[in-house]
Amino acid sequence: MRVLIYSHDTYGLGHLRRSLVMARALATSHLGASVLIATGSPRAHAFELPPNCDTLKMPSILKQTDGTYAARDLDLSLEEVVALRANLLCSTFRDFAPDLIIVDHAPVGVEGELFPLLQSIREADPKPKLVLGMRDIVDDAELTERAWRKTGGFSAIEDDYDRVFVYGESWVPTTAVEMGLEALIDTKGEQKVRHLGYLAPESPRCQASRRFLVTAGGGGDGHALLRSFIGFLSRRSAGDVAVDIVTGPFLSERRFETIRAQVDDLDGHDVQLIRFDPQIAHRVAAARGVIGMAGYNTVAEIMSSDRRALLVPREVPRVEQLLRAQRLSKVCGFSWCRLSELSDGTFQEFIDDCIDPKAKAVPSMVMNGAQRLVEEVEELLADGAFTDLGPGESMFRENAR
């Protein structure tokens, strides 16, 4: 079978990293899928791909601080780069002939770039199955629904999508539940929305080291957290805390050099500064404790490793991270703090809690989202439209010629 994953990737690394987790699960399962990830990430080349997986690099689009979009590198208008990406997706659909298409996060894509693809899917015979993948939290539910109704995304979910996979648990309030998407029924009378649980790469099982991890995710907007923590280290005694600081690849060169200079001034402190680590899940698993923002992948990796965490969520332009930190702190024992309220005492209290041998164990979360993804895909494709032709083969092969 063949799977096409659309990962728009206009900011950070989260969408691509989640797509790679899905690709690995589908490619290494008994389904033996060949997976093509269409991504706009400028860092797509930096990650090791799962077997039977490749990437289609679309021209990059950047989400700007005011929430608008622009071409990241090419001297093209937004309309031109969106049209280019839309045409690439349609030609890929025609030539790759997927049995399943998973759209990550954006029902009609950036600036509606998926409308031509959705039309091609409607006209296909046979039609591939179409799935929307949603994070646990997209944003404030009312704002999300209003935006999706305005752009046609809500209508697309109702009319075009066969399933909505939510990468979270329904008992921890998700945007899908808050928007009432669980009421959507497909043509066979089955619920469209399926909560799969949290998706994270398989966590290496290892004992926690003595090192703490401070991470800013992709790095596009985590510099304030990093500066705050380095300032805290500069005001405390050296020698008893070892720290790895991962800035993320999208931290600007100017800000990275500023942070490097601040780290160099930490006389006697055991601090390692890393720009980018594609295997950061291994650092999470080995950390004594993790201080980071509350992006989906960071939080999922922390939960997968059963590590203590201090979350400092981004609050603009979306409240996604704030809501995630608030909700998961209640069930996973995370500490969290607004950036504006961070203090030396906040960091010290978290470090002391991680070091204290009498501290309570971290509540664990079942992290079987990848397994449930495979099960849901198998069920979706088993309704008569999909014929198992073996790994890498497609039921569309004759149509594609």
Q: How far apart are CA 58 and CA 84, in angstroms?
A: 8
pLDDT digits (tens, 9 = 90+) for 189-231: 999 999 999 999 887 777 778 899 999 988 888 999 999 999 9
Lowest-confidence region among 83-87, 150-154, 391-395: 391-395
Residue % of the chain over a pLDDT of 90: 79
Band of residue 70 on the pLDDT scale cut at 50, 70, 90: very high
Q: Is a pLDDT exceeding 50 seen at residue 68?
A: yes
Read off the amino acid at residue 183. Answer: A
What is the per-residue pLDDT for 389? 39
Q: Is a pLDDT exceeding 50 seen at residue 390?
A: no
Q: Is a pLDDT exceeding 90 seen at residue 361?
A: no
Q: Is a pLDDT exceeding 60 seen at residue 371?
A: yes
Q: Is a pLDDT exceeding 70 seen at residue 309?
A: yes
Q: How far apart are CA 254 and CA 365, in angstroms?
A: 39
Lowest-confidence region among 11-15, 29-33, 57-61: 11-15
Q: How far apart are CA 249 and CA 374, in angstroms?
A: 31
| Coil, helix or strand at residue 101 | strand
The greatest distance separating any two alpha carbons of the chain, rounded to the nearest whole angstrom, comes to 70
Q: Is a pLDDT exceeding 50 seen at residue 395?
A: no
Please give the mean pLDDT across all residues of the chain.
Answer: 91
What is the per-residue pLDDT for 203? 77
pLDDT digits (tens, 9 = 90+) for 244-281: 999 999 999 999 999 999 999 998 899 999 999 998 99
What is the per-residue pLDDT for 398? 40
DSSP string, 37-94: EEE--TTGGGSPPPTTEEEEEPPPEEE-TTS-EEESSSS--HHHHHHHHHHHHHHHHH
Q: Which residue has the higher pLDDT, 204 or 399?
A: 204
Q: 219-223 — which CB contacts under 8 Å span 24+ positions?
A: 219/247, 219/248, 219/249, 219/250, 219/251, 220/11, 220/12, 220/248, 220/250, 220/251, 221/314, 222/247, 222/248, 222/251, 222/293, 223/247, 223/251, 223/255, 223/259
Which residue shows structure tokens 């805390």?
241
pTM for the predicted model, two decimal places? 0.92
Please give the domain boundaries of the chain with CATH numbers for all domains. Answer: 2-200+368-400 (3.40.50.2000), 211-355 (3.40.50.2000)
Contact 83, 59 (CB under 8 A): no
Q: Which residues pair with 186 in a beta bridge?
A: none
pLDDT digits (tens, 9 = 90+) for 166-182: 999 999 999 999 999 99
pLDDT digits (tens, 9 = 90+) for 128-170: 999 999 999 999 999 999 999 999 999 999 999 999 999 999 9
Q: How far apart are CA 131 and CA 163, in angstroms?
A: 5
Give per-residue burial for 13-24: e unless 16+ CB within 10 Å, then b.
bbbbbbbbbbbb
Band of residue 65 on the pLDDT scale cut at 50, 70, 90: confident
Residue % of the chain over a pLDDT of 70: 96
Q: Is a pLDDT exceeding 80 seen at residue 239?
A: no
Q: Is a pLDDT exceeding 60 seen at residue 326?
A: yes
Band of residue 43 on the pLDDT scale cut at 50, 70, 90: confident
Q: How far apart are CA 288 and CA 383, in angstroms?
A: 47
